[in-house]
A = this chain, B = another copy of it.
Amino acid sequence: MEGVRIFCPATIANISCGFDVLGVALDSVGDEMTLRKTDTPGIRITKIIGQEIPLETEQNVAGVAALALLGECDFSGGIEIEIEKKIKPGSGIGSSAASAAGAAFGLNLLLGNPFNRHQLVRFAMQGEKLASGVAHADNVAPALLGGFTLVRSYDPLDVIKLNTPEQLYATIIHPQIEVKTADSRKILKTGISLKDGIRQWGNVGGLIAGLYTEDYDLISRSLEDHIVEPIRSMLIPGYDDLKGAAVKAGALGVGISGSGPSVFALSKGSAKAREVADAFRSAYSVVGVPFEIHVSKINQEGIKVLEQW
């Protein structure tokens, strides 16, 4: 194989009760990347469409992820990477993760698949480290594996792909304000009450049981977060109104995507997800902050090959 064009999905991390452990991949929101072999050794980012992002390999999340993988392979040739960014950096739906995961996935494919998708997570995490200072896996894992993923542990790294019911759809609203990941992490308390902890892991248990039994009611009841949402939602103007409107429209649950500012809702069925989009739109039109809305089925497979040659 000489080249490949892939779709790299946007992702929602910090799914309500699953702060830092649960993420999910989207189907109709994502970047496109093209990777091709060249005769000039090394990794080069040749083009980025849609965003102002550094082209230098070591300063680019895709470059860093590719270098991490290459460091464990025997390959003396060269790779060119083009990225068409459709996910806005800073939106909270895994923009850097899509690029990092895509680079690891595409390079792996060109090298004849020395690694499986699970094994690619740790290379993609190196891109996340460049982007946010922390080698977190909660966006790159769903980007690579698809569906809902659980990062059970970092030491050792243990990522589990969970069952994902077919009728799950996400509605995402991206208020065009800047919330820095570092800031939104800083405002979290380093301690929580045991009582809130118990509620949180009860809900994580309920959510995962609901995903396996495809019990949308249980999923809905479990989409609660008593720890992070009350704090981080203060950084998102109109959050309570958004949540109230989506719940009223019949969403299964609502939460902050990643570290914000995007807000997600999960719904059963595409019609309901579109109604929730309407509810988001009505509720946010009065806030005075520009916004974008996406509706997407949950992506079951993760990164997809669009073309290869």
Q: CB within 8 Å of B: which residues of A?
A: 17-22, 150-153, 158, 160, 162-163, 188-195, 197-206, 208-209, 212-213, 218, 221-222, 227
Complex CA–CA separation, A209 to B198 (angstroms) = 18
Is A190 a contact of B189 with CB atoms below 8 Å? no
Picked from B19, B153, B200, B205, the residue with its CB within 8 Å of the CB of A208 is B205
Contacts of A153 in B (CB 8 A): 199, 202-203, 206, 221
Contacts of A188 in B (CB 8 A): 194
Is A160 a contact of B206 with CB atoms below 8 Å? yes
Is A158 a contact of B221 with CB atoms below 8 Å? yes
Complex CA–CA separation, A20 to B153 (angstroms) = 21
Complex CA–CA separation, A21 to B218 (angstroms) = 16
Closest chain B CB from A153 CB (angstroms): 6
In the complex, residue of chain B having the shortest beta-carbon distance to the beta carbon of A197: B197
Picked from B18, B190, B192, the residue with its CB within 8 Å of the CB of A205 is B18
Is B150 a contact of A206 with CB atoms below 8 Å? yes
Is A205 a contact of B19 with CB atoms below 8 Å? no
In the complex, residue of chain B having the shortest beta-carbon distance to the beta carbon of A22: B205
In the complex, residue of chain B having the shortest beta-carbon distance to the beta carbon of A207: B205
Complex CA–CA separation, A77 to B205 (angstroms) = 42
Complex CA–CA separation, A160 to B191 (angstroms) = 29
Is A222 a contact of B152 with CB atoms below 8 Å? yes
Picked from B19, B198, B222, the residue with its CB within 8 Å of the CB of A20 is B198
Known: A201-B200, A201-B204. A194 touches B227 (CB 8 A): yes
Complex CA–CA separation, A189 to B197 (angstroms) = 12
Contacts of A150 in B (CB 8 A): 202, 205-206, 209
Is A218 a contact of B160 with CB atoms below 8 Å? yes
In the complex, residue of chain B having the shortest beta-carbon distance to the beta carbon of A190: B194
Contacts of A205 in B (CB 8 A): 18, 21-22, 150, 152, 160, 204-205, 208
Contacts of A209 in B (CB 8 A): 150, 160, 162, 208, 212
Complex CA–CA separation, A107 to B227 (angstroms) = 41
Pairs A–B under 8 Å by Cβ, sample size 7: A22-B205, A150-B209, A152-B222, A153-B202, A153-B221, A160-B218, A208-B212
